[in-house]
Structure 1
Amino acid sequence: MARFPTIEDVAREASVSRQTVSNVLNAPEVVREETRDRVRDVIDRLGYHPHAAARRLRSQYSSTIAIRLDPITNGISGSILDRFLHSLTARAAERGMRVLLFTATDSDDELRQLRALRDSADVDAVVLTSTFTGDPRIPWLIDAGMPFVSFGRPWGEEHDESPDHRWVDVDGFTGVRDATRHLLRRGIRRIGFLGWPAGSDTGDDRRRGWATAMREQIDLTDDELELLTVRVEESVPHARMAVEKLLPLRLVDALVCVSDSVALGAMMAVAEAGRRRFPVIGFDNTPVAQAVGMSSVDQRIDEIAVAALDLLLGENGRRVLTSDEVTERTPHRLVAPQLIVRRSSHLAVAEEAGRDPGGN
């Protein structure tokens, strides 16, 4: 029977002590970079895998991060959290961490699940998603002393600079501003915004990006910007009906949208109206946007997952940091998204060859 390599084998091959190998695996920041690289090279060459159960018993760490599995929704943009979960799981595995999924019907149920996880000591940290103003999970986790990071900033909260709340978020303001500037540079001036009902923290932030870009180029009042705004629920049919009513008024010549779901509804309405060169830009860069050739703002989900783990574990770390160990003055990351320019219209690819994407 083949013998699996041991930590002693790694130490001997790398000419270091057993403790140094353990430090490279569990606290790499205390090991010199040259030594750390040499030990990791030996680990890779020998195919050494530390015994997870034994390591947990010795360290009293579970090497596990918990995250709620959100309910299935019909919205196209729901795929963003699926992509984040997949990326987080893959990146965590690279650091010897596991991801534990749990379900909850609402925030109160989620708090009950978090209490159970805390009491059983099954996890070292929690990842929150879908944060909102007055989110009760945030103060509870801080009071409970459970390390956590949220995908989503603490909207309306005063403790967003606290090391107790580490968060990463996409800069929706910048993403929508850049999308609007893209259309403005092409000479389009009457650009509308198709967003969610007022009061959505994320939606309102994205609308501010559009409004800022419009004010930079065109002297518009708040009332005039409101006339160019259409608000709908996160629904393809609702967006489609709203844009069907908007197009005959000839108020706008392009639309920047709060999500790919509403952007798809807008594209369907535009197609039916025969406005073949009416640009529509979405947000999220979902597979649907890619399939229909729609320009969209990409959230850089893999970068967000890496940032979340860096905030929890430290850069390249393999153990959850306590609040006292967080050295960053502002323990959060705001990731700049990227505008992905595609056809943005309903011309067939062959018909549109050689033309600027999204042209009017």
Structure 2
Amino acid sequence: MAKAPTVEDVARVAGVSRQTVSNVLNSPAIVRDATRARVERAIADLGYRPHIAARALRTRRSSAIGIHLDPYAGGVSGVVLDRFVHALTEKAGERGLRVLLYAARSADEEIERMRELVEGGEVDGFVVTGTFHGDPRTGWLIDRDIPFVAFGRPWGIDDVDDPAHLWVDVDGAAGTRAATAHLVAAGIGSVAFLGWPAGSGTGDDRERGWRDVAGAAGVRLTAEEDVTAARAVVAAALADRPGIAAVVCASDTLAIGARLAAASVGRDAMPIIGFDNTPAAEALGLSSIEQLPERVADGVLQLLTGPSGAFVAPQAATAGAAHVLVEPRLVLR
């Protein structure tokens, strides 16, 4: 088995001292740009990975990022967050960082878990998922100056010109806009939208993209995140409005319900596009909008590790530099 590269190996290849390599890993701002680039190139070429335990002792950092693991609830769309956590763990490991998972059943319980992890020195920062209007978790972290990045924008406030914190999100409106434009360009006819009841920031954003193309006359349908409920809503709509020629949906769960409804009235060929591109959508041959959680993970680490890239040192939440918006991909089947 080949011996893992060491700091000394990196120093030798880069033509610098061992201390300079250490500075690049732990205090990159004090190293000249050209020297830092040479060391980073040597690290990449050698595949060097810092020893986490040793670095924790030296820097008094845990080199760990905490993230909440949602309770298992079955269904179709939960796989997206699972894929994100996997990507985050893999990409953090490449930077010499660890991801620490914790469970909680409510926002208040999650805040308590965060408190325990911070007071125990077990994490250097957090990734907050599933943000919503008036989210108490982000306020708690901001008040205590604890580093974090949200996967999901801070709904209900000015998150671009006057950002309260760092965030990464998928541009849901861009996804549904592209899906609707594709159907309209194909001459499909009236494109309806099947979303969740109003009040969901994510759902409202996805509806907005469809509305940009469909216009005020577009047919908007709503259902809870449930295949049976979606099937009933779409079946009733097709009976009342036979002119509906296609449906863009806020999730793959809703799209599966819509597909079953269309099939039940003999309209198997009616175009239906979901959101999330889950394995279920792929198996059923449904077109869908893919969130690209690997790019979200890249964005989270870019914001959370700032210029260093190797430890939690988030960049400032300033206008124009506090967020990463990932454009999703339309997958046609």
Residue aligning to 1:187: 187
SS of 1:131's equivalent in the other structure is coil
Would the aligned equivalents of 1:197 and 1:233 in 2 still touch at CA under 8 Å?
Answer: yes
Task: Note the C-alpha offset of 1:11.
Answer: 2.2
SS of 2:77's equivalent in the other structure is helix
Task: Note the C-alpha offset of 1:72.
Answer: 1.1
Return the alpha-carbon distance in structure 2 between the equivalents of residues 45 and 182 of structure 1.
43
Residue aligning to 2:89: 89
Return the alpha-carbon distance in structure 2 between the equivalents of residues 193 and 327 of structure 1.
35
Residue aligning to 1:178: 178
- Aligned counterpart for 2:263 among listed residues 262, 267, 271: 271
The alpha-carbon distance between structure 1 residues 304 and 33, as it changes in their structure 2 partners (threshold 3 A), is: same
Structure 1 letter corresponding to 2:181: R
The alpha-carbon distance between structure 1 residues 286 and 33, as it changes in their structure 2 partners (threshold 3 A), is: farther
1:277-334 alpha-carbon deviations (Å, 9 max, x no partner) = 210000111111222221111111111110010010126611212565x677431111
Structure 1 letter corresponding to 2:168: V
Residue aligning to 1:333: 324
Structure 2 letter corresponding to 1:318: A
2:147 paired with 1:155: no
2:251 paired with 1:259: yes
Return the alpha-carbon distance in structure 1 between the equivalents of residues 282 and 6 of structure 2.
47
SS of 2:78's equivalent in the other structure is helix
Q: Which runs of 5+ in 2 are unaligned?
A: none
Return the alpha-carbon distance in structure 1 between the equivalents of residues 22 and 57 of structure 2.
14
Q: Higher Cα Rg: structure 1 or 2?
A: 1
2:103 paired with 1:103: yes
Alignment of 1:69-218 (within 5 A): 69-158=69-158, 161=161, 165-215=165-215
The alpha-carbon distance between structure 1 residues 42 and 230, as it changes in their structure 2 partners (threshold 3 A), is: closer
2:304 paired with 1:312: yes
Would the aligned equivalents of 1:193 and 1:230 in 2 still touch at CA under 8 Å?
Answer: yes
Task: Note the C-alpha offset of 1:253.
Answer: 0.9
Q: Which runs of 5+ in 1 are unaligned?
A: 343-360
Return the alpha-carbon distance in structure 1 between the equivalents of residues 141 and 107 of structure 2.
13
2:243 paired with 1:243: no
Would the aligned equivalents of 2:193 and 2:210 in 1 still touch at CA under 8 Å?
Answer: yes
TM-score, normalised by the number of residues in structure 2: 0.91
1:223-242 alpha-carbon deviations (Å, 9 max, x no partner) = x44xx111101011111122
Task: Note the C-alpha offset of 1:159.
Answer: 6.0
Question: What is the alpha-carbon root mean square deviation over aligned residues?
Answer: 2.4
Residue aligning to 1:358: none
Return the alpha-carbon distance in structure 2 between the equivalents of residues 298 and 3 of structure 1.
40
SS of 1:234's equivalent in the other structure is coil
Q: Percent identity?
A: 52
Residue aligning to 1:349: none
The alpha-carbon distance between structure 1 residues 29 and 197, as it changes in their structure 2 partners (threshold 3 A), is: same
Return the alpha-carbon distance in structure 2 between the equivalents of residues 235 and 177 of structure 1.
23
2:285 paired with 1:293: yes
Would the aligned equivalents of 2:64 and 2:123 in 1 still touch at CA under 8 Å?
Answer: yes
Residue aligning to 1:350: none
How many residue pairs get aligned? The number is: 332
Task: Note the C-alpha offset of 1:39.
Answer: 3.4
SS of 1:70's equivalent in the other structure is coil
Task: Note the C-alpha offset of 1:2.
Answer: 9.5
Using the TM superposition, name which of 132-141 and 315-324 deviates more.
Answer: 315-324
Would the aligned equivalents of 1:27 and 1:318 in 2 still touch at CA under 8 Å?
Answer: no
Return the alpha-carbon distance in structure 1 between the equivalents of residues 319 and 302 of structure 2.
11
TM-score, normalised by the number of residues in structure 1: 0.85
Return the alpha-carbon distance in structure 2 between the equivalents of residues 331 and 16 of structure 1.
34
Structure 1 letter corresponding to 2:193: F
Return the alpha-carbon distance in structure 2 between the equivalents of residues 45 and 280 of structure 1.
46
SS of 2:273's equivalent in the other structure is strand
SS of 1:255's equivalent in the other structure is strand
The alpha-carbon distance between structure 1 residues 18 and 256, as it changes in their structure 2 partners (threshold 3 A), is: same
SS of 1:76's equivalent in the other structure is coil
Task: Note the C-alpha offset of 1:244.
Answer: 1.9
Structure 2 letter corresponding to 1:20: T
Residue aligning to 2:272: 280
Task: Note the C-alpha offset of 1:118.
Answer: 1.5
